[in-house]
Amino acid sequence: MPNPFPGMNPYLEHPDFWPEIHHLLIAIIKESLTPLLQPKYRVAIEKRIYEIQGDTSLLVAIPDVSIQQKGHATSPIASNTAVAYPTVQPRQVRVPTAAEFREGYLEVIDRATKEVVTVIEVLSPANKRRGEGREKYDSKRNKIFDSSTHLVEIDLLRGGEPLPVFGDAGESNYRILVSRSDLRPIADLYLFDLPDAIPAFTLPLRQEDAAPVVDLQALIDEVYDRGGYDFEIDYTADVVPPLSETDAVWVDTLLRERGLKP
């Protein structure tokens, strides 16, 4: 069964699915662009690595870090000493633990000069929440804005705080930012909501080169098909993160019309 939504499927944003979706989408964007950009350009998958702490790791769907006790267990030693039992029962809590987070992105590289012409970022939850993930991404973003490299920033996540832009950006569920280095500080911001098809955008390259159009909707639908998410997703379950009241009514109606919800 194909993706039942006309645009972004909100069930794909669940922390159990999104890390996989993120990797698949980056790989499929690379596959789709490579034949269009050869031989002048190559498309490379790069990654950032950083640590996040405590509950933040749960929010970005990083598995808990398990720590095994070192050494060998010893048998208890018999004792005649009386044992005092606690009168207050403990609560189960979590303590801060560091987890390594790897975050992929794409670079379009000029084969002759080895220069990075365009960076394509698919935002992760860590980029949209306070913490090291946001700080590292903000720092990289600002460096790109001060360079001759183009930036494409794809935000398919309703949760978290959108990355800053100036001007009357408006509000939307999702957004795509296309920032050409030769037009900065002006950039194109595509705003779209849950009922909308994901807009296509033109990939910025060097001025003398024909720029391909990226059909992101087709790529998301391909991710859905390749990942077998029609078998993975329970469409009778609640959407995570929660929907607004208006969006929840729209989603419920759509799923009932498609026979995915009783």
Side-chain-side CA neighbours of 171 within 13 Å: the count stands at 3
Count of other CB atoms within 10 angstroms of residue 99: 17
Q: pLDDT-derived band of residue 32, with 50, 70 and 90 as boundaries? A: very high
90 CB burial (10 A radius; 0-12, 13-18, 19+): exposed
What is the reported pTM? 0.81
| pLDDT tens-digit readout, 172-198 | 999 999 999 999 999 999 999 999 999
Residue 98 is inside which H or E element, if any? Answer: strand 98-110
- Maximum distance among all alpha carbons in the chain? 88
Q: Where are the domains of the chain?
A: 10-62+97-257
Residue 160 structure tokens: 């978290």
Amino acid at 103: E
| pLDDT tens-digit readout, 112-139 | 999 999 999 999 998 998 888 888 899 9
pLDDT, greater one: 5 or 130: 5
Percent of the chain with pLDDT over 90: 71
